[in-house]
Amino acid sequence: MSMMKPEERLAVAIARLILDPKAPPARHVAVGAASPIPAAACFLVQKLGYPIRLSLLSRRTGNPFTEGTRELFDLTGQGRIDLFFLGGGQIDGQANLNLVGTGDWPGMGVRFPGSFGSAFMYMMVPRVILFREEHSPRVFVPKVDNISAPGVSPPGVFRRGHAQALVTGKCVFRFHPDRARFSLESLHPGETVESIRAATGFDFDVEGNIPTTPDATEQELALLRGPVCDEMLETYPEFCARVFNRKAAA
Amino acid sequence: MTPISLEAMAAMVPDGALLALPPDNSLPSVALAKALIRRGARNLRLLGVPVAGFATDILIGAGCVAEVETSAVSLGEAGFAPRFTAAVKAGQIRMRDATCPAIHTMLQASEKGVPFMPLRGLLGSDILKHRPDWKVIPNPFAENGEDPIVLLPAKQPDFAMFHAVMADSKGNVWLGRKRECATIAHASKRTLVTVERVVEGDFLMDERLAPGAISATYVDAVAVAERGAHPVALLDEYGADPAYVSEYARMAKTEEGFAQWLDREVFTPKAMAAE
């Protein structure tokens, strides 16, 4: 089998986080339009034989919702979505997310598209996996300029869960809501604790020897390039062409 | 029900009106947005339910918009919305950031005719901090502690506008599974719908079509605009046109490029005939 692509490593890393027995169960996962790698991870978990319901928000044929995103948020409000993926233009060491923009409100430095549903979803799903491929000091900052969605909440504020982890192009961080800090969980090949420190604007914990993010197994790679890609072709055509070298039939 | 022309529909929308638009995966009427640009609409207030895309960006670029309230403005895979981004930076539009379920909830309150509805989440977000019209109260039903919760005021747009597949002789329109558009129509004072075609009959007499229909009760005008969602996909009728959006994203990076695009795609008679 040909060399593993970085996107494939990330999908496998996310799949392992989804299956983490210490995390709350993932029975129903929703995935947004801008998240092909998390979608690949979810399909991989399905194809490995785990019964998760996966709702792709942007799926054109067979879209799971008959009342659009309103239905997604109502489901989430009730606690019927178990896991969601979020990213951010900026993410800080307390797992605060900024999807609005840098500088003064409403993003007078660099304006990002906007918060989407993050201010609700982050607090209302039992767990969130944060995902951002670009691992640089401009993304991972000591303190976000604007908080779209807070990483932790004071006691008494209704909140079902927190970030479980932050997966980047260089490493995996675990989030600890009790102390509102990330710790380094694993390093992608070629990275060191020092290289991560240099690329990260926020402080994080390092406990013991940090393992390498595992390679995908032959079985996982075969599933990603075959049945997972089949499922993703319609919704994420550009991603499938780039990563799996497969084009949807016209 | 007699359909009106696209230009007549655009003329129904006065300057300064609050228009509710669905996002790029849920039946926006790009044809009506282009007609509003041709009519020279000014000071429109756009409500992106719950996010905004292509139609919003071209309306902003054409100088039709004073205010945008939504949860994000983006061109999807083609990236940031260039005219929106430039207008925020230049202070040309007022941006009222929201979060997706808050927009749905404000419309649901209107739909019910109640003055407000509560929503979980939001506490600790700067979105809430910049929304003096949103209030936090202790949950009056809480058994222990304060349980703070956000209250959102009902929002009633002047117009809902979207593009459906078809209308029938009675003026009902059919939008398939995109029933969140029905909420927008229920909540708005008036609803304008462009369609691919008008068909004989009554959708409400057909048990299979009725659940995806909006009753003519809510629909004030219908105009035929073939491929009226383009470059956005329309259910199983036609797919998106990513090459068209990418070209737009490239040209609209500058004001000059946008003006060229507008001239070619909105103002030239050829473009009008193609719609």
Of the candidates B152, B176, B168, which has an alpha carbon nearest to the alpha carbon of residue B229?
Answer: B176
| Contacts of residue A105, Cβ cutoff 8 Å, sequence gap at least 6 | A146, B126, B130
Does any domain span residue B1?
no
B54 vs B163: CA distance, rounded Å: 14
Nearest to B118 by CA among A158, A79, A5, A226: A158
Residues B267 and B173 in one domain: yes
> Pairing state of beta strands B94-97 and B65-70?
parallel
Could you read off the pLDDT of A23-36 as tens digits, one per residue? 999 999 999 877 89
* Number of Cβ atoms within 10 Å of the Cβ of B226: 12
Is residue B107 a part of any domain in this protein? no
d(CA A147, CA A248): 38
Would you state the pLDDT for residue A65? Answer: 94
Indicate the pLDDT class of residue A250, thresholds 50, 70 and 90: low
Give the one of A33, A124, A149 whose C-beta lies nearest to B125's C-beta. Answer: A149
Neighbours of A206 (CB within 10 A): 11
Q: Is the distance from CB of A185 to CB of A121 less than 8 angstroms?
A: no
* Closest approach of B172 to chain A, Cα-based (Å): 18
- State the smallest CA–CA distance between residue B188 and chain A in angstroms: 17
pLDDT tens figures, A161-198: 999 999 999 999 999 999 999 999 999 999 999 999 99
The tokens of B24 are what? 């790029």
For the stretch B155-185, pLDDT in tens is 999 999 999 999 999 999 999 999 999 999 9
Residue A249 pLDDT > 80, yes or no? no
Residues of A in contact with B99 (CB under 8 A): 115-120, 148
Position A248 pLDDT exceeds 80: no
Residues B165 and B216 in one domain: yes
- Cβ proximity of B9 and B35 under 8 Å: yes
Q: Judge: B180–A115 Cβ closer than 8 Å, yes or no.
A: no
Q: Is A90 left (phi over 0), alpha (psi -120 to 50) or beta?
A: beta
Residues B11 and B90 in one domain: yes
Collapsing DSSP to helix, strand or coil, B47 comes out as strand
Mean pLDDT (chain A, rounded)? 95
Q: What is residue B96's predicted lDDT score, i.e. its pLDDT?
A: 98
Domain that includes residue B247, residue range: 6-98+156-274
Contact B98, B69 (CB under 8 A): yes
> Who wins on pLDDT, B76 or B194?
B194
Tokens of A102: 């840098």
Residue B201 resides in a domain: yes
Among residues of chain A, what percentage have pLDDT more than 90?
A: 91
A100 contacts B126? CB cut-off 8 A: yes
Q: How far lies B81's CA from each of A58, A78, A146, B20, B61, in Å?
A: 18, 33, 20, 18, 10
Segment A67-81, tens digit of pLDDT: 999 999 999 999 999
Q: Per the domain annotation, does B85 fall within a domain?
A: yes
Same domain, B172 and B47: yes
B272, pLDDT greater than 90: no
pLDDT band at B223 (very low <50, low <70, confident <90, very high): very high
Q: Say yes or no: B56 and B168 in one domain.
A: yes
Name the token pair of A36: 């092909």
Residue B160 lies in a domain: yes
B241 lies in some domain: yes
Length of chain A (residues)? 250
CA distance A147 to chain B (A): 5
**In this complex, which of A71, A112, A119 lies closest to B99 when CB atoms are compared?**
A119
Task: Tell me what the pLDDT averaged over chain B comes to.
Answer: 96
B120 shares contact with chain A (CB less than 8 Å): yes
pLDDT at B21: 98
pLDDT over 70 (residue A1): no
Instruction: Work out the pLDDT band at B271, boundaries 50, 70, 90.
Output: very low
Give this complex's ipTM. Answer: 0.95
B78-98: average pLDDT: 96
User: Closest partner residue to A115 among B85, B97, B145, by Cβ?
Assistant: B97
Say whether residue B177 is in contact with chain A using an 8 A CB cutoff.
Answer: yes
pLDDT at B139: 97
Q: Which residues of B touch A102 (CB under 8 A)?
A: none
Q: Which of B89, B108, B121 sits opposite A120 (nearest CB)?
A: B121
Residue B14 CB contacts under 8 Å (≥ 6 apart), including other chains: none
Cβ separation B127–A113 shorter than 8 A: no
Judged by CB atoms closer than 8 Å, whether chains meet at B239 and A67 is answered as no
Q: Do B88 and A115 touch (CB under 8 A)?
A: no
Task: Judge: A108–B147 Cβ closer than 8 Å, yes or no.
Answer: no
Q: How far is A82 from chain B (nearest CA, A)?
A: 16
**Domains observed in chain A:** 6-244 (3.40.1080.10)
pLDDT score for B184:
97
Residues 6 or more apart whose CB falls under 8 angstroms from that of B264 comprise B271
pLDDT of residue B270: 61
What pairing do the DSSP bridges indicate for beta strands B135-138 and B148-153? antiparallel
Question: Mean pLDDT over residues B117-144, rounded?
Answer: 97
B13 and B135, same structural domain?
no
Alpha carbon of A38: minimum distance to chain B alpha carbons (Å): 16
B153 and chain A in contact, CB less than 8 A: no
Average pLDDT over residues A41-51: 96
Contact A85, A30 (CB under 8 A): no
Contact B121 A123 (CB under 8 A): yes
How many domains in chain B? 2
Distance CA A65, CA B52 (A): 19
Q: Is residue B103 assigned to a domain?
A: no
- For position A118, what pLDDT does the model report? 97
Are B134 and B39 part of one and the same domain? no
Q: What digits encode the pLDDT tens for the residues A121-140? A: 999 999 999 999 999 999 99
The answer to whether the beta carbons of residues A120 and B102 sit under 8 Å apart is yes
How far from A245 is each of A133, B40, B207, CA to CA, in Å? 20, 46, 44
**Claim to verify: residue B90 and residue B131 sit in the same structural domain:** no
The 10s digit of each residue's pLDDT in A215-231 is: 999 999 999 999 999 99
Residues of B in contact with A148 (CB under 8 A): 99, 125-127
Question: Regarding predicted confidence, which is higher, A58 or B107?
Answer: B107
- B104 vs A73: CB contact, 8 Å cut-off? yes
* CA distance linking residue A6 with residue A133, whole number of Å: 10
The answer to whether B146 contacts chain A (CB < 8 Å) is yes
Shared domain check, B202 and B80: yes
Smallest Cβ distance to A67: which of B98, B122, B179? B179
Cα A139 to Cα A90, A93, A102, A144, B77, distances in angstroms: 4, 11, 11, 9, 20
Say yes or no: B57 and B179 in one domain.
yes
Q: Under an 8 A CB cutoff, do B179 and A108 touch?
A: no
**Does residue B105 sit within a domain?**
no
pLDDT at position A235 is: 87
DSSP A28-90: EEEE-TT-HHHHHHHHHHHHTT---EEEETT-STT-S-SSHHHHHHHHHHHT---EEEE--SE
- Report the predicted TM-score, pTM, of the whole model to 2 decimal places: 0.95
Band (pLDDT 50/70/90 cuts) for residue B117 is: very high
The answer to whether B121 contacts chain A (CB < 8 Å) is yes
Residue B156 tokens, joined: 């009633």
Instruction: At B5, list the tokens.
Output: 């022309």
Residues of A in contact with B130 (CB under 8 A): 105-106
Phi, psi of A162 (to 5 degrees): -140, -175
Contact A204, A184 (CB under 8 A): yes
Residues B146 and B238 in one domain: no
Which residues contact residue A154 at a Cβ distance below 8 angstroms, ignoring those fewer than 6 apart? B124
Inform me whether the pLDDT recorded for B121 exceeds 70. Answer: yes
Mutate to test the interface with A, among B123, B129, B152, B181 (most CBs of A within 10 A): B123
Which residues numbered 190-229 in B keep a CB inside 8 Å of some CB on A?
none
| CA proximity to A32, closest of A93, A105, A84, A100 | A84
- Rounded to whole angstroms, the maximal C-alpha distance in chain B is 66
Based on the domain organization, do B261 and B179 belong to the same domain? yes
CB of B35 within 8 Å of a chain A CB? The answer is no
Q: Residue B251's domain is classified under what CATH number? A: 3.40.1080.10
Contacts of B142 (CB under 8 A, 6+ apart): none
Examine the fold and report which residue of B107, B136, B153 is the final residue of a domain before the chain moves on: B153
Residue of chain B nearest A122, judged by CA positions: B121
The Cβ of residue B21 has, within 10 Å, a number of other Cβ atoms equal to: 29
